């Protein structure tokens, strides 16, 4: 909805077509009040989500860095927890507490402090948000390579420790890229006693806006990451689906084979062929044979030899292989859930950024007066908080090992003793 400054909503007598019994000022007041109530409700919801997210990221970090969880995938996920925690902590003050204080008209001195700190907090938040995007891509690509090159990986002599060290180096590289990428954001805002919080002259330059918001932000933060995530997750979903179908087919064949063997065993039992029955069941047969006697002091000495007939080769995988396969599947499903959450929450932010980069760059007045865009901005902020907060829920829902380690650390009566023993 567009406010009363738009000529489509008002006539020459300043009477609203939408609300004919109200003047334009009354309509504007109603719209502002409804927007204020909407912002208050969403600010309180965001506050609850951010507090839960801070606790969830803190707990997830300690679980994912525990000795039992040390694999390369968890190095990326634990780093994602760190970046999410710092970004949420910044948003808690820079966005949520600021909104509540501003809307309720409380703590004016605290608001002045936030204004002064905003030019420094804003680029830090942006840096760790960018790091979260890059780490989400890294963890998805890592799992894609893990499955795609599984045969080569089984032949490789590289230990888990070496894989974790390599993953840690990639994480450091992602943070460095995020820091370099966000250098222009340190130049966007300034504060002084005369003008207060304001945009710098450089940030108001059209070329600066095009380079930073259009040519840098869209490809690096959205187009390239979204393309990689779509490709890798499509492959992971296809792999899981094909494996499930293959297992179902093998299960049907195995049931038919077992039924056929049992029918043949009944026939053989009737015929008295018990040895054949044992062979068909895959049981080994122990036989005793007497070799040719050896003369020793005129006495025949017989050599006893025990022969274990080769059993039929089992088609069942070893327990270790089964365990690794199930763990890989659960990790893959968990990562797909994390990426889907990322898509759902980040896509509206992408649309908002496209609007700001295209329409609002040429029609700034229309964007500032658009109530619809203001509502959309509030919803986008909430989704961004959800994305940074709810990875813990995905870990708990889809990772059995994560739940097990969580119970081991937090279910003990003497929590601190079990916690420090677990890490030592």
- The predicted pLDDT at position 15 comes to 41
Tokens read off for 106: 């409380």
Q: How many residues does the chain have?
A: 424
Question: Using the 8-state DSSP alphabet, how is residue 219 labeled?
Answer: I
Task: Check which CATH number belongs to the domain holding 45 and give it.
Answer: 1.20.1070.10
- 346 in Cβ contact with 222 (< 8 Å): yes
Within a domain: 297: no
Question: Is residue 19 in some structural domain?
Answer: no
Rounded distance between C-alpha atoms, residue 124 and residue 211, angstroms:
20
Number of domains in the chain: 1
Look at residue 176 in the predicted model and tell me its pLDDT.
96
Q: Is it the case that residue 372 has pLDDT exceeding 80?
A: yes
Asked if residue 153 is part of any domain, the answer here is: yes
Q: How far apart are CA 130 and CA 133, in angstroms?
A: 5
| Single pTM value for the model | 0.73
Tell me the mean pLDDT in the region 344-355. 86
Q: Range of 211's domain?
A: 24-252+328-423
- Does residue 147 sit within a domain? yes
Q: Residue 87 pLDDT more than 90?
A: yes
DSSP bridge pairs for 191: 197
Give the separation between CA 17 and CA 19, rounded to whole angstroms.
6
Asked if residue 135 has pLDDT above 90, the reply is: yes
Residue of 112, 139, 46 lying closest to 395 (CA atoms):
139
Q: For residues 52 and 313, which has the higher predicted lDDT (pLDDT)? A: 52
Tokens coding 145: 């390579």
C-alpha to C-alpha distance for 39 and 45, rounded to whole angstroms: 10
Q: Residue 418: CB partners within 8 Å, gap ≥ 6?
A: 408, 409, 412
Q: What is the pLDDT of residue 102?
A: 81
User: Is it the case that residue 86 has pLDDT exceeding 70?
Assistant: yes
Mean pLDDT of 83-88: 94
> Quick one: what percent of the chain has pLDDT higher than 70?
70
Kindly tell me if the per-residue pLDDT of 166 is higher than 80: yes
Return the pLDDT at 175. 96
Check residue 185 and give its pLDDT: 92
What 3-state DSSP class applies to 302? coil
Q: How far apart are alpha carbons 370 and 365 in whole angstroms?
A: 9
Q: Is residue 11 part of a domain?
A: no
- 3-state class percentages of the chain: helix first, strand second, coil last, to nearest 5: 75, 5, 15
Residue 139 lies in a domain: yes
pLDDT at site 360 = 73
Domain presence at residue 306: no
Cα 391 from Cα 341, distance rounded (Å): 8
pLDDT at position 272 is 53
Q: What average pLDDT score do residues 268-296 get?
A: 49
Contact (CB, 8 A) for 190 and 119: yes
Residue 46 has which token pair? 């965001």
* 215 within a domain of the structure (yes/no): yes
């Amino acid at each position: 909805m567009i406010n009363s400054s738009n000529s489509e909503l008002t006539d020459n007598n300043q009477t609203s077509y939408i609300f004919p019994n109200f003047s334009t000022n009354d309509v504007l007041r109603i719209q502002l009040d409804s927007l204020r109530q909407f912002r208050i409700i969403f600010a309180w919801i965001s506050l609850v989500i951010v507090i839960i997210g801070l606790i969830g990221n803190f707990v997830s970090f300690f679980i994912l860095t525990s000795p039992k969880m040390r694999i390369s995938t968890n190095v990326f996920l634990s780093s994602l927890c760190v970046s999410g925690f710092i970004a949420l902590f910044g948003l808690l003050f820079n966005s949520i507490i600021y909104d509540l204080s501003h809307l309720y008209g409380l703590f004016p001195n605290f608001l002045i402090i936030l204004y002064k700190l905003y030019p420094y907090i804003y680029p830090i938040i942006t840096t760790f948000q960018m790091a979260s995007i890059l780490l989400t891509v890294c963890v998805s690509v890592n799992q894609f390579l893990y499955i795609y090159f599984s045969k080569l990986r089984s032949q490789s002599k590289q230990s888990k420790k070496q894989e974790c060290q390599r993953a840690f180096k990639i994480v450091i590289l992602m943070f460095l890229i995020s820091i370099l990428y966000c250098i222009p954001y340190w130049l966007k805002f300034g504060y002084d006693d005369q003008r207060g919080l304001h945009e710098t002259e450089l940030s108001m330059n059209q070329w600066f806006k095009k380079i930073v918001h259009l040519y840098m932000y869209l490809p690096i933060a959205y187009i390239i990451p979204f393309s990689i995530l779509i490709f890798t997750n499509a492959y992971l979903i296809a792999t899981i689906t094909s494996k499930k179908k293959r297992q179902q087919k093998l299960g049907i064949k195995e049931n038919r084979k077992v039924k056929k063997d049992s029918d043949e065993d009944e026939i053989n039992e009737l015929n008295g062929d018990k040895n054949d029955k044992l062979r068909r069941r895959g049981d080994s047969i122990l036989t005793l044979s007497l070799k040719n006697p050896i003369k020793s002091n005129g006495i025949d000495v017989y050599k006893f030899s025990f022969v274990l007939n080769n059993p039929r080769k089992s088609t069942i995988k070893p327990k270790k292989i089964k365990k690794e396969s199930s763990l890989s599947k659960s990790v893959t499903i968990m990562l797909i859930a994390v990426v889907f959450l990322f898509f759902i929450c980040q896509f509206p932010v992408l649309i908002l950024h496209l609007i700001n980069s295209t329409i609002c760059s040429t029609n700034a007045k229309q964007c500032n007066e658009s109530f619809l865009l203001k509502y959309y901005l509030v919803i986008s902020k909430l989704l961004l908080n959800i994305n940074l907060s709810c990875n813990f829920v995905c870990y708990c829902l889809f990772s059995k090992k994560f739940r097990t380690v969580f119970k081991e650390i937090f279910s003990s009566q003497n929590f601190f003793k079990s916690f420090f023993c677990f890490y030592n």
